């Protein structure tokens, strides 16, 4: 839990510090929690009118809530329901389900199914008396409207947990399942994550909350402050590929619940993001972490990077979009817009991996062993060994230099990459630079395309016949910064990671 808390804390701090670090607007990467449909159980706002409830949901960026009948009475007309839905939509919120609705007679059952049909829903949260269950099953078959029976825990109410529903209904195909209240499940003393796995076919809807204890004496608390293992719950929901809503039910401080609900929403989003498997960009797998890999860019902020020649990160020329760190097009002028960016840290022995995407005719580069101080007061890019990034077909620089030593993948102006290198014209390519002492490899899409030795007579002779001849000891220093080049053409970078050797 400590590891997850640290990850959640880092996530929140990263998001909170974004505006301070990034002096320009951008569109940021979608988070794993966005794929979970987080809502609020309507009872959490039972003391609020509908306008205050909707405004509260809007303020937290929550799009879904379950509708209680004190906001939309069971005798509401179709016109009143349409007006209610329109009001919800004006706040960017959807009343995704009605209920819980308690049914004490057949007349209650009939009225409830008519109510749900007028609303246009194919499911509601309901709690029938036990002796009405057979009649409810008949109504489900007649109308096609499913019922998610809400569980109530150890306090003596009907349907204490999902086992009661399974034992009484027996067949999940009958259209009666469970609105599983995870807090009550925990208070019953059950393993919540295991119940999710064991009863996956019966779960129609979920109400989630944290509890102070896994006994009848447990009380609802802000998520993350109680005793429930919420990380295992999230992992279980991923395992069963749950597609329904997950509605937070906050029963503490009902007269003023908003701060506790907001804290719970943030915590739930945080653990979903922090516990997500690395299937997206700009993250590390468990295996990579164990092997010592580190992200050089987090996919969201400018953390860890700075201007090569000025304080801070460039105020223009770079932007973040959809999990990509992008150079802005500026007419192909070298370092005349935002300028190059470099890592804050220097590196010596390492494996550097960068995925890049070219726009037509683009020029850029990945440099290493960079010392920005060498030409700090001079125009142009900072000096360092460079994995050339270039559209060989459309950019004229590919025809310059000696024997193709300015083409894509080359050690720029020194050693050419082969003409038959495995380059993809569309989409992203992966560049890898491996440095072990004086030995350096360039790899492109899993294929080694060149290698060389620094600090040798041959190396120094090669440098002497290149554009770097006037830079003393070029390429021989033990450490240097990593650089991404602004050459005035739009280029996209992602999955920038390094393993120090």
Provide the percentage of residues in the chain whose pLDDT is more than 70.
91
Mean pLDDT to the nearest integer, 280-289: 85
Q: Say which range, 19-33, 135-149, 162-176, 305-319, has the weakest mean pLDDT.
A: 19-33
The CATH class given to the 32-274 domain equals: alpha beta
pLDDT at 302: 93
CB 401 within 8 A of CB 415: no
Given a cut of 70, whether residue 447 has pLDDT beyond it is yes
Domain ranges within the chain, ordered by starting residue: 32-274, 286-500
pLDDT at 12: 36
Q: What is the CATH superfamily name and number for domain 286-500?
A: Exo-inulinase; domain 1 (2.60.120.560)
- The H or E element spanning position 365 is strand 363-370
How many angstroms separate the CA atoms of 240 and 247, rounded?
17
Given a cut of 90, whether residue 242 has pLDDT beyond it is yes
DSSP 3-state assignment of 439?
strand
Grade residue 262 by pLDDT with cuts at 50, 70 and 90: very high
CB 66 within 8 A of CB 248: no
Higher pLDDT pick, 374 / 309: 309
Same fold, 32-274 and 286-500: no
Per residue in 134-148, is it b (16+ CB within 10 Å) or e — as a string? ebbbebbeeeebbbb
Given a cut of 90, whether residue 227 has pLDDT beyond it is yes
How many angstroms separate the CA atoms of 124 and 116, rounded?
7
Residues 6+ apart with CB under 8 A from 1: 229, 231
pLDDT at 379: 63
pLDDT at 373: 78
pLDDT at 15: 32
Q: Encode pLDDT of 329-372 as tens digits.
A: 987 676 667 899 999 999 999 999 999 999 999 999 999 999 88
Q: Encode pLDDT of 369-422 as tens digits.
A: 998 877 665 666 889 999 999 999 999 999 999 999 999 999 999 999 999 999
Q: Encode pLDDT of 78-116 as tens digits.
A: 999 999 999 999 999 999 999 999 999 999 999 999 999
What are the phi and psi torsion angles at 17 (to 5°)? -90, 0
Provide the token pair at 302: 């400018």
Q: Hey, what's the torsion of the CAs at 194, 199, 200, 201, to 10 degrees?
A: 170
Q: Encode pLDDT of 26-75 as tens digits.
A: 333 456 677 799 999 999 999 999 999 999 999 999 999 999 999 999 99
How many angstroms separate the CA atoms of 45 and 268, rounded?
19
Given a cut of 80, whether residue 260 has pLDDT beyond it is yes
Mean pLDDT to the nearest integer, 151-162: 96
Q: What is the 3-state secondary structure (H, E, C) of 248-286?
A: ECCCCCCCCCHHHHHHHHHHHHHHHHHCCCCCCCCCCCH
């Amino acid at each position: 839990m400590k590891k997850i808390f640290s990850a959640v804390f880092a996530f929140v701090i990263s998001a909170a510090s974004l505006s301070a670090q990034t002096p320009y607007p951008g569109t940021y990467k979608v988070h794993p929690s966005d794929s979970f449909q987080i809502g609020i159980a309507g009872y959490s706002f039972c003391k609020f009118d509908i306008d205050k409830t909707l405004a509260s949901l809007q303020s937290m960026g929550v799009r879904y809530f379950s509708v209680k009948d004190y906001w939309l009475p069971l005798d509401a007309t179709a016109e009143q329901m349409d007006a209610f839905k329109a009001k919800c939509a004006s706040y960017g919120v959807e009343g995704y389900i009605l209920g819980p609705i308690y049914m004490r007679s057949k007349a209650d059952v009939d009225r409830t199914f008519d109510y749900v049909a007028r609303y246009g829903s194919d499911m509601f949260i309901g709690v029938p008396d036990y002796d009405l269950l057979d009649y409810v099953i008949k109504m489900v078959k007649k109308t096609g409207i499913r019922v998610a029976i809400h569980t109530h825990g150890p306090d003596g109410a009907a349907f204490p947990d999902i086992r009661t529903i399974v034992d009484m209904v027996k067949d999940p195909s009958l259209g009666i399942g469970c609105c599983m209240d995870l807090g009550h499940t925990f208070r019953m003393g059950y393993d919540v994550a295991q119940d999710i796995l064991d009863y996956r076919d019966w779960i129609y809807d979920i109400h989630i909350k944290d509890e102070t204890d896994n006994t009848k004496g447990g009380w609802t608390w802000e998520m993350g402050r109680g005793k429930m293992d919420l990380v295992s719950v999230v992992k279980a929901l991923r395992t069963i590929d749950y597609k329904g809503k997950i509605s937070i039910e906050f029963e503490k401080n009902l007269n003023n619940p908003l701060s506790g609900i907001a804290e719970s929403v943030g915590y739930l989003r945080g653990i979903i993001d922090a516990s997500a498997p690395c299937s997206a960009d700009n993250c590390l797998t468990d295996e990579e972490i164990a092997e010592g890999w580190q992200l050089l860019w987090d996919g969201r902020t400018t953390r860890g990077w700075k201007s090569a020649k000025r304080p801070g990160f460039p105020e223009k020329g770079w932007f973040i979009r959809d999990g990509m760190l992008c150079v802005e097009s500026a007419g192909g002028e070298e370092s005349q817009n935002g300028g190059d960016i470099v890592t804050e840290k220097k590196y010596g022995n390492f494996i550097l991996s960068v995925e890049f995407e070219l726009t037509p005719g683009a020029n850029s580069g990945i440099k290493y062993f960079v010392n920005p101080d060498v030409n700090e007061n001079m125009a142009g890019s900072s000096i360092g060994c460079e994995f050339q990034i270039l559209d060989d077909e459309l950019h004229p620089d590919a025809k310059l230099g000696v024997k193709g030593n300015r083409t894509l993948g080359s050690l720029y102006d020194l050693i050419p990459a082969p003409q038959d290198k495995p380059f993809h014209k569309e989409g992203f390519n992966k560049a890898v630079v491996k440095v072990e002492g004086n030995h350096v490899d360039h790899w492109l899409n899993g294929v080694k395309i060149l290698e060389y030795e620094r600090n040798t007579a041959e190396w120094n002779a090669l440098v002497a016949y290149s554009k770097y001849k006037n830079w003393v000891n070029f390429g021989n220093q033990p450490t240097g910064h990593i650089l991404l080049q602004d050459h005035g053409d739009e280029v996209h970078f992602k999955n920038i990671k390094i393993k120090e050797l």
